[in-house]
Every structure is written in C-alpha cells, then in structure tokens.
Structure 1
Amino acid sequence: MKPVDSPERTKNRTRSGRRGGESTTRTDILTAARHLFGENGFTKTSMRSIATEAGVDVALVSYHFGSKRGLFTAVMEVPGDPISRVTAAASGPRSDLGRRLITTFTSIWENDDMGVALQAMLRSAVNDDGAAKAFGDFASGEMMPALAKTAGLSQETVRAIGSCVFGLALMRYLIRAESFTSLTVDELVDQFGPKIQAIVDQGR
C-alpha cells in the first residue's frame, strides 16, 4: 500500500519547490530584471535573459508585464507608460511644444501618487549605480528617441530639453531648493515653457 503523506511532510515538500504561485513568480522576475537592468542597462537586457535569470519561461514575463518597457516601469515603480506620455505631449503644433512638455512634466511630478513614485525613482538613480545605469539607458534609448521622432527634433535638441526637465526635477523634488519649491505650477510653466520653446526653435 502506498504510504499516505502526513500534513507536515506535504507542507515541507511544498516549501522545497521554486514556485509558490503567481506572486512568487512575479517577484522572481522583478528581482532578475532589477539585477540585469542595473548590470547591463535597458537596451542590452532581453526578456529571454530575464526569464533565464528568474528561472521561468519567457512567456511568463510577457504574461505578467506585457513588454520589456512594462517590466522596466514596474522595476522602477513608475506608474503608467512614460513613453506614451512623452509622445502625447510631443504631438501637436511645434510652436507650443515647450509649454506642452513642461505642463505634462509638472502634472506628472505634482501628482500625489505618481509624483511620489517618480521622486523615489530619481532618488534611487542618484544613490545607486545600477538604478542610474538602468534609468539612463532607458532615457537615452527609449524616451529621448520617442520625443525626437514624434516632434521631429534632432538628438542634440532633445538632449538639451532633457537636461532642463530633469535638472528641474532634481532641484525641485529631490534637492528641494527653495528658489524652485517656492514657485507654483503655473509659475513653473510660465518660466520654463518659453525656455524649452527657445531650445526647440533654435534646434533642428
């Protein structure tokens, strides 16, 4: 007669397995992605390499996160899709691009939920080399090309715009310099919109 497992033996056998359910699989994928994005950057990290690192089928990565971009935003804890927001802001008349970009930028950073997540991401990028590499590669390889393509701008122009908006984020939301935090959102838009527009108008 086949022996019947005791509850304790069954419990111990369950614990010895690699997977404990979907939540464990998702956590393993996030852990693997965080490691590989930090080590290799966004562009050079493939969905397959993340699946291999996590010990799961690559289809499970797509199942849980949809795409490599979706996985990256989950790793960095950024709500929503930053690329779609960039392209939405870049769509429209070039003559008002500077104001649209800074309006979109501040509306995201001033949002109670999204702003907190983005500040945590920025703080992580400043303090951790792996996070900095991952975010820097994502910005250079995904965000800036999306802006350049949608708005018809050169890479040089987009780099100048990026230095302005991320410099503003650093000063207002991370360093919290009084000369930046004292401004209202409308004042930020009024002051930075024309500056970014000048970069657009002078660029190619």
Structure 2
Amino acid sequence: MSTPKRILIVDDDPEITSALARGLALHGYDTVSEHRTDAALARLRAESMGAAIIDVMIGADSGIDLVRALRAEGIGLPIVMLSALSEVEDRARGLEAGADDYIVKPFSFDELVARLKVQERRARTDAPRRARLDPATRKVIGRTRDVVLTEREFALMLLLASHAGEALTRGRIFDTLWAGEGTSSENVVDVYLGYLRRKLDPAADFGFEIKTLRNRGFMLDGSAPEIAQPHDK
C-alpha cells in the first residue's frame, strides 16, 4: 500500500495543529502546519500535498477565503474544513467556496481519517490523465486533444519534459539542440519555443505550460508528460 502524501493543517492555534498532527501521525499521516492564510497559500503554490485541513477562522483571516483563493488558482487538492460553527449556512459557505467536506468540532480522529481517505480516493479517481509524448509519431497526446510536432519541435519538447521543474537556460538548450549544426544565433530557441506555445495553447488541454523565468531560462511547469517507450501500446 502506498504511503499517504503529507497533509497541510491550517489553524492559528498551535495547540490544535499539534493535536491534529499527533492524531494523524497515529494513522500513518505526515503533516505540516501553517498558522496564517498567506503562508498556507504560498506553501500550496510551491508544494504538492495529499490534502489540506483548514479551520474556518484563522485568527483575523477567513479559512473560507483561503479555500476560495486556492480554487481560483486551480489548486485542486482535497480540502476538509473544520469549524465549531454547525449552522447549515456556515457549512454551505465552506462547500460553496470549494471545500470537499466540512466537519464540526468536536469530532473523532477516526471520523476525520475516514473522510480524508474518501477524499483521497475521489481525487485519484477524478485526476485527469497526464499528457504523453510519443516519439514514434512526434505527437503530444493531451487530455482533450493531440498535436503533431515537427522533428525540431519534438526534440525541444522532449528536452523540456526530461527536465520538468528545472529551469534550462537559452544557452543550454541551444548547445543541446542546435550548436552542432552550425546555427549561429541562440534566437532560434525563442522561435521554437514560440511554435510550441502556440501549438500547446490552451495549456489546460495538456496539463502543463512552458514558463519563462527571468534571468534563469525556461521551464516546463505543471504535470509533466509521460514519455512513451518503444514497447508501449
């Protein structure tokens, strides 16, 4: 059985986050905690989590506003909200903001873990398939459509996918793909990146995008495509 991913706990009370962390640890979960909504949002932008447990009231901030901000940015991890507020209207506000479940305090850890597992299973079932690169046909096989690339476009796409999440400088890309052919200008890199971006727009069709990082280079961001092997069907 695979190990569950980390759970992010967002609450302004260190005693509550500590108690949740200890209880979840007994059920095999690794946890991290944030006590401010801005810090939680920054962490979830930067790191992959299995789920988040977010209190409705986080100091002067609103957990519901945090959930709404996460969903607006396309961060789709399972979210369970906690609150001492049990009115139907309060639950509805949390769910309408994008939370997947809502538990009223006090609660048992068995119930919390059971609900987390339900959301984890649902996330696995609902997760869109990753795009694939097929060297035999030079196709990028996306979630909703496929595109055929030229030989040079595919070589560039393959290089970016092989270093997904890593910034590649213009010079490194040029040296890898063009330097041995007598091409004199690194501007050719920008030209072919432009070709790729146009063919792969909108990025939602493929689950990734090519980002330009100032003074660092270019990076494939998102769910990196799988690279089909010769024996794959």
Shorter-chain TM band: under 0.3
Bigger proportion of residues as strand: 2
Bigger proportion of residues as helix: 1
Q: TM-score of the superposition, structure 2-length normalised? A: 0.24
Q: TM-score of the superposition, structure 1-length normalised? A: 0.27
